[in-house]
């Protein structure tokens, strides 16, 4: 399975990062590409400036908590990160990621297994994480088949026509 397998340079953020700190509310009323420059502006100002297409974000517990603003997911996609691997995600961030089309994987122990800058690989559907520098492998939490169908369709909007009439 080669789809949704990513390899890249890692960036790290900590536990309990709220969407407000992914992208501030005052930054969201501009184009998403402009807003992307301000992702994590308070917690890591280098990120928005230096992140490269294909980089992978590693987060701690309950990533994307607080406000359910889906624009946090959009802004992260616009930074070029290919996927996010975290100890756990908040409920709204988890939903939004699949609905907008950002591959994510929950992997217990991942935060300690990575030093920022390590090359890592993530097989999202297979649920496998690997730190290429240390060789450490960890298993991710399986993703529900319905969510895989959604992300493969390109998100909830792409899938919407298929859903019409599924329930009255």
Show contacts with other proteins in window 135-154 (CB under 8 A).
Answer: 144, 146, 150
Name the minimum Å distance from CB 29 to other proteins. 5
Q: How far is CA 164 from CA 97, 99, 112, 151, 156, in A?
A: 22, 16, 44, 18, 12
Is 60 in contact with 90 (CB distance < 8 Å)? no
Is 120 in contact with 56 (CB distance < 8 Å)? yes
Name the minimum Å distance from CB 132 to other proteins. 29
Q: Whole-angstrom Cα distance, residue 30 to residue 120?
A: 32
Q: Which is nearer to other proteins, 8 or 155 (CB)?
A: 155
- Interface pick for other proteins out of 26, 46, 53, 112 (rule CB under 8 A): 26
97: enclosing H helix or E strand: helix 91-100
Name the minimum Å distance from CB 121 to other proteins. 27
Task: Provide the binding-site residues for other proteins, judged by CB under 8 A.
Answer: 16, 18, 20-21, 24-26, 29-30, 42, 61-62, 65-71, 73, 88, 90-92, 94-96, 99-100, 144, 146, 150, 155-157, 159-161, 163-164, 166-168
């Amino acid at each position: 399975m080669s789809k949704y397998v990513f390899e890249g340079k890692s960036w790290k953020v900590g536990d309990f990062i709220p969407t407000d700190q992914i992208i501030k509310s005052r930054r969201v009323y501009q184009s998403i590409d402009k807003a992307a420059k301000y992702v994590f502006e308070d917690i890591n100002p280098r990120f928005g400036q230096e992140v490269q297409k294909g980089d992978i974000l590693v987060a701690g517990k309950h990533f994307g908590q607080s406000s359910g603003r889906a624009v946090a997911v959009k802004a992260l996609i616009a930074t070029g990160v290919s996927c996010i691997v975290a100890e756990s995600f908040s409920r709204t961030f988890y939903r939004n990621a699949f609905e907008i089309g950002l591959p994510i994987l929950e992997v217990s122990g991942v935060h300690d297994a990575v030093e920022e800058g390590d090359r890592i690989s993530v097989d999202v559907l297979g649920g496998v994480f690997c730190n290429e520098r240390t060789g450490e492998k960890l298993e991710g939490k399986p993703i529900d088949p319905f969510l895989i169908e959604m992300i493969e369709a390109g998100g909830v909007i792409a899938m919407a026509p298929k859903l019409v009439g599924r329930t009255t």
